[in-house]
Amino acid sequence: MNIERAALAPPLKIQQPRTTNHGSRTTISEDALLGEGILKGMAETAKNFFLSYVSKERLTTVEYPEQRIPTVEAARVFPFLVYDGVDWEAGLRCVACQICEKECPPKCIYIDKSKDKKPDYVGKQQFYPTRFDIDISVCMSCQICVEVCPFEAIKMDTEFELATDDRFGGLLYDRKQLARSNEYYHSIHPTEASEVDARLGEEKAKVEAKARAAAEAAAAKAAAPPAPPAGGGS
């Protein structure tokens, strides 16, 4: 057999395991009792069956609606929008930059940018979405919107029992349905949310320090110069 491709492989020093032992393998033997292998397998099954009463390891199923396995922290289902404070509309972190809309692989996010601006969490004037719809019948839970969002505004929910009898409107979530409070975010992804809060707090502190410094400088400027103009103006 002339196989050039196999020649690419460097010579192997170790003995490869074979499915057969020197050309002969386990076959149905004429001497042994026919069905011995089957009985051996059945003994294995019986062992599992009876031990499942004793060991929890062997009992792997749960009865779903009554018994629930808690979702893991990293679980992701569909995205939601985070808002700070009490009012969902005022506190939305989203600034309608439309990066997620552009990066979304199945293109299931629809955003309309506002004409006016409102202050964000650091007090900076930003646009906000007048429409933010996610078609969750198209969404494939890939988390790319979360990864590309520079404002920590969109995160993944863990709620999975979302069945509805309305195929169209019921599965197109608008921004009110998508809005969830930061507390809710903390309750489903505690570690991740704390990291995000720390990062945002740091940024806010930096902006505030900068603003304070600027204000102080302005105040100092405002306080110091009045003398010369007062003198010169008269």
- Sites of contact with other proteins (CB under 8 A): 1, 3, 5-6, 8-10, 12, 14-20, 23, 25-28, 34-38, 40-41, 44-45, 60, 72-76, 99, 103-105, 140-144, 147-148, 156
Nearer to other proteins, 76 or 204 (CB): 76
Give backbone dihedrals phi and psi of 173, rounded to 5 degrees, phi first.
-90, 130
Q: At closest approach, how far in Å is the CB of 184 from other proteins? A: 17
Contact indicator for 97, 140 with CB cutoff of 8 Å: no
Of residues 24 and 234, the one with the C-beta less far from other proteins? 24
CA 57 vs CA 43, 60, 63, 72: distances in Å: 18, 7, 16, 19
Task: Indicate the residue among 134 and 175 with the shorter CB distance to other proteins.
Answer: 134
Provide, rounded to whole angstroms, the least separation between the CB of residue 17 and other proteins. 5
Interatomic CA distance for residues 200 and 145, integer angstroms: 18
DSSP-based three-state secondary structure for 145: helix
Residue 207 CB, shortest distance to other proteins, in Å, is 22
By the 10 Å C-beta count (0-12 exposed, 13-18 middle, 19+ buried), 80 is classed as: buried
CB 98 within 8 A of CB 130: no
Helices within 155-189 (DSSP H only): 175-178, 182-188
Report the residue number, 25 or 221, with the smaller CB distance to other proteins: 25
> What's the closest the beta carbon of residue 74 comes to other proteins, in angstroms?
4
Give Rg (Cα) of the chain: 32
Query: Least distance (Å) from other proteins to the CB of residue 76?
Result: 4
Nearer to other proteins, 94 or 175 (CB): 94
